[in-house]
Structure 1
Amino acid sequence: MVMIPQEEWKSLLDKLDRLAEMIENRNASDRDAEWLESEAARKQLGVSPKTWQNYRDQRVIPFSQIGRKIYVNRADLNAFLRSHRIGEVK
């Protein structure tokens, strides 16, 4: 059995809480850095292929194209969704 003074124990718990928060924040930023293929992005938005094509034609959501493959950054997709969020009625 090991005994640790209460203040040191609290300090250790605080450090563990900060570490857990840093890991959560890092995981969230990693998800935002992920690139989705066009079809996955379209399905996440729940729009038809024609609407998705219109979004790309009008540059509504930034995307990258390599050859015939289209990729969308998850952070851009999330920003688009946030900008089109409709708040609650009060």
Structure 2
Amino acid sequence: MEAIILSTQQYKDLVNRLDALNKQLEEKQKKPQDTFLDNQEFLQLMNISKRTAQTWRDEGIVSFSQIGSKIYYRMSDVQKLLDKNYKAAFSNKRKY
């Protein structure tokens, strides 16, 4: 096994870089609503066809961004879509 010797300054720089990377990772994990899905990921997540996604976009059911021919969906918009169409379970207790 090889040993690597770092100066104090090199060690501090390395630790600072690792801290910065760790902070970036934590921020991304805290805000999944800021994540964007491409069209293929959206289709797989919602288990729908391309045509259904197109209809939803045309009818304003889901918000999206388009750059050229690429379409992206914000995860927070997908969450809003699901929340808006959420139906709470109702109690259907049978009395005997």
Q: Give the TM-score taking structure 1 as reference length.
A: 0.65
Check if 1:75 corresponds to 2:86. no
1 CA distance for matches of 2:83 and 2:45? 13
Aligned equivalent of 2:56: 55
> Are the structure 2 counterparts of residues 85 and 25 from structure 1 closer, same or farther at C-alpha, using a change threshold of 3 Å?
farther
Check if 1:66 corresponds to 2:91. no
Larger Rg, first or second structure (1 or 2): 2
State the AA in 1 paired with 2:29. N
1 CA distance for matches of 2:45 and 2:69? 20
Give, in angstroms, the shift of residue 26 of structure 1: 7.4
Q: Give the TM-score taking structure 2 as reference length.
A: 0.61
> Are the structure 2 counterparts of residues 34 and 56 from structure 1 closer, same or farther at C-alpha, using a change threshold of 3 Å?
same
Count, aligned residues: 66
Aligned equivalent of 1:36: 37
Provide the alpha-carbon RMSD of the alignment.
1.9
Give, in angstroms, the shift of residue 25 of structure 1: 9.0
Aligned identity (percent) is: 26
**Unmatched segments (≥5 aa) in structure 1:** 1-23
State the AA in 2 paired with 1:62. S
**Unmatched segments (≥5 aa) in structure 2:** 1-25, 92-96
